[in-house]
Amino acid sequence: MNSFICGNCHKEVTTGGNIGTHQRNHCPYCLYSKHVDNTPGDRQASCHGLMQPIGLTFKQEGKEKAGELMLVHLCQKCGKISINRVAGDDDANEIMNVFEDSLHMSEQTKDRLKMQKIDIASEKNEKEIKIQLFGN
């Protein structure tokens, strides 16, 4: 197994073999990522900025919500927005913190997400999020 040091919290993160993901693309402790992909998995981006978790969304299958919880990241260097799968070893309390912070997201950021057809989780999704993270 390989590892990396998180650019945000500076903890060592082991890659590979994590529940819910084939490629580790964010820190399971603080949920920050690094902008290394132009398209998922290609590792071709030259930006390498820190990507802050700014909210949650649900995976879409066509026009229907599939239910799988996803993290929304915003690159602090270039502004790219991306969506990443939540991994089984991600800190559930930190995911809830991201959700709660996103309830106070600026209108400008909400508009950017809407333009990219990202439906950010809202208060009406809180029960479903808690069930996915903590069970009944």
User: What are the domain boundaries of the chain?
Assistant: 3-134
pLDDT of residue 42: 79
pLDDT of residue 65: 57
pLDDT in tens, 103-125: 999 999 999 999 999 999 999 99
> Does residue 61 or residue 19 have the better pLDDT?
61
CA–CA distances in Å: residue 65 to residues 58, 61, 69, 79, 120: 6, 6, 10, 26, 12
pLDDT in tens, 11-54: 998 876 655 555 677 999 999 999 988 887 778 888 989 999 99
- Please provide residue 60's backbone torsions phi and psi, each rounded to the nearest 5 degrees: -105, 140
pLDDT of residue 110: 94
Percent of the chain with pLDDT over 90: 64
Percent of the chain with pLDDT over 70: 89
18-22, 56-60, 67-71, range with the lowest pLDDT: 18-22
Q: Residue 35 gets which letter from DSSP?
A: -
pLDDT of residue 82: 92
pLDDT of residue 41: 75
Q: Which of 19, 47, 17, 18 is nearest to 33 (CA)?
A: 47
Supply the DSSP string of 49-107, one letter for each residue.
-EEEEEEEEEEEETTEEEEEEEEEEEETTT--EEEEEPPTTS-HHHHHHHHHHHTT--H
Sign of CA dihedral 42, 62, 81, 133: negative
